[in-house]
C-alpha cells in the first residue's frame, strides 16, 4: 500500500467509523482532512533524525501536501539522552536529507517539561485543524501528552495519534503511567496493526479508532533487477538470499532465525542469510551463536 492509497484508505474507513461511534463530532476529525483544505501539524521524529519513524512522518507530510493541505513538522532538538540511546548516531548524514521540500522545525526537547509547555503553546497559537502524533514508546508519553494538552486549549485543534506500539516490546518502569497519560490527551487513533488496536483497549475503549496497515515506503530509489543487485553487492548468483534488515534488538528474534538456518532442512536449500543492520544490543552474543551454529 502506498502513502497515497493509505490516505485514501484512511478516508474511507473514517467515513464508516463516523456512523459507528457515539461521539459523532470527534469521529469527523478523521474525514475533515479529505473534505477541506487543512492546516496540519505533525510532531515527532523527522530530518535530521534518522530511522523509520522520521521517514514515515516526512512521507506522510508529503502525501498531505500533495492533497492540497499545509503541513508543518515539529521535530526534536533532543530526542533521547545519550545514555538512553544504544546506537552510533541519532542523525542521518547530510546527503540523506529528504529530496522533497518540507517545513521541518526543531523545537521539541523530550526531557524538558518547560519546553513541552512552550511547544504546546506554540501549537495552540497556530490553531492547526489537526495535530498528528506518532506513538511508539512510553518514554515519549509525558512529552507528547503535555504538548497535546496545551495545544487543545485553543478549543479548535483535534489530536490524532498513529500508533506503532501501545505496549512496548521491552518493558520498563513507568510504561503504563506514561502511556495512559499520553492516550488521555488524544481525540482519536489510527493503529498500524490489529494487535496494537487491541492493546489500546487496555487504556481506552471509548475514543474513535481504526486500523490502517503501514504503507510501503517508496522513497528509497527505483527497483533494480536481481542480477544487477547481486552484481553490485558482489554476491554469488547461484544462491538465494534471505535478508534480515534493520536495527538489531533482542526482541526481534534474530537468534531464532540464526538457529533456524542451522537446521538441516534449510542447509540443503542453497540459501544464505544476510544480516544488515546496526546492533542495539550485545553484538558478541550473535557472533558467538553464528559460530556455534556453523
Q: 159: which strand partners?
A: 131
Interacting residues of 287 by C-beta distance below 8 A, sequence separation 6+: none
Query: Considering the entire predicted model, what is its pTM?
Result: 0.81
Same structural domain for residues 96 and 231?
no
- Asked if the structure places residue 219 within a domain, the reply is no
| Same domain membership, residue 198 and residue 170 | yes
Domain region containing 249: 226-293
Same domain membership, residue 248 and residue 206: no
Residue 84 has pLDDT above 80, yes or no: no
| Statement to judge: residues 156 and 10 lie in one domain | yes
Question: Are 109 and 30 part of one and the same domain?
Answer: yes
Give the confidence band of 19 by pLDDT, cuts at 50, 70, 90: very low
Which tens digit of pLDDT belongs to each residue from 22-41?
A: 233 334 445 454 557 789 99
- In this structure, are 20 and 69 located in the same domain? yes
Q: Do 124 and 250 fall into the same domain?
A: no
Question: Considering the domain boundaries, does residue 220 fall inside one?
Answer: no
**CATH code of the domain containing 127:** 3.40.50.11930
| Residue 216 counted as domain residue | no
Q: Which of 183, 211, 239 is the last residue of a domain?
A: 211
Task: Compute how many other C-beta atoms are within 10 angstroms of the C-beta atom of residue 77.
Answer: 13
Q: Residue 51 region, left (φ>0) first, then alpha (ψ -120 to 50), else beta?
A: left
Q: How many domains are contained in the chain?
A: 2
Return the closest-CA partner of residue 148 out of 187, 179, 185, 110.
185
The tens digit of pLDDT for each residue in 206-236 reads: 999 988 888 877 777 788 999 999 999 999 9
Element (H, E) at 87: none
**Helix %, strand %, coil % for the chain, to 5?**
45, 20, 40
CB-CB contact of 30 with 243 (8 Å):
no
167 and 236 part of one domain: no
Amino acid at each position: 500500500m502506498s502513502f497515497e492509497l493509505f490516505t485514501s484508505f484512511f478516508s474511507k474507513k473514517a467515513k464508516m467509523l463516523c456512523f459507528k461511534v457515539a461521539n459523532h463530532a470527534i469521529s469527523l476529525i478523521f474525514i475533515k482532512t479529505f473534505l477541506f483544505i487543512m492546516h496540519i501539524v505533525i510532531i515527532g521524529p523527522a530530518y535530521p533524525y534518522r530511522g523509520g519513524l522520521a521517514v514515515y512522518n516526512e512521507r506522510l507530510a508529503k502525501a498531505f501536501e500533495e492533497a492540497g493541505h499545509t503541513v508543518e513538522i515539529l521535530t526534536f532538538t533532543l530526542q533521547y539522552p545519550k545514555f538512553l540511546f544504544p546506537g552510533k548516531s541519532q542523525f542521518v548524514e547530510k546527503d540523506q536529507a529528504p529530496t522533497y521540500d518540507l517545513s521541518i522545525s526543531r523545537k521539541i526537547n523530550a526531557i524538558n517539561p518547560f519546553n513541552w509547555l512552550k511547544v504546546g503553546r506554540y501549537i495552540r497559537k497556530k490553531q492547526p485543524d489537526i495535530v498528528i502524533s506518532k506513538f511508539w514508546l512510553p518514554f515519549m508519553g509525558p512529552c507528547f501528552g503535555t504538548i497535546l494538552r496545551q495545544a487543545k486549549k485553543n478549543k479548535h485543534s483535534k489530536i490524532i495519534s498513529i500508533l506503532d506500539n501501545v505496549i512496548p516490546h521491552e518493558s520498563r518502569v513507568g510504561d503504563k503511567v506514561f502511556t495512559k497519560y499520553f492516550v488521555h490527551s488524544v481525540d482519536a487513533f489510527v493503529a498500524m496493526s490489529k494487535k496494537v488496536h487491541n492493546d489500546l483497549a487496555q487504556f481506552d475503549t471509548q475514543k474513535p479508532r481504526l486500523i490502517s496497515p503501514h504503507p510501503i515506503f517508496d522513497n528509497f530509489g527505483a527497483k533494480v533487477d536481481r542480477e544487477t543487485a547481486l552484481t553490485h553487492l558482489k554476491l554469488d548468483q547461484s544462491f538465494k538470499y534471505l535478508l534480515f534488515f534493520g536495527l538489531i534488538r533482542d526482541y526481534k528474534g534474530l537468534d531464532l532465525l540464526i538457529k533456524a538456518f542451522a537446521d538441516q532442512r534449510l542447509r540443503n536449500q542453497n540459501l544464505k542469510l544476510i544480516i544488515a543492520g546496526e546492533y542495539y544490543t550485545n553484538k558478541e552474543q550473535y557472533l558467538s551463536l553464528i559460530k556455534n551454529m556453523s
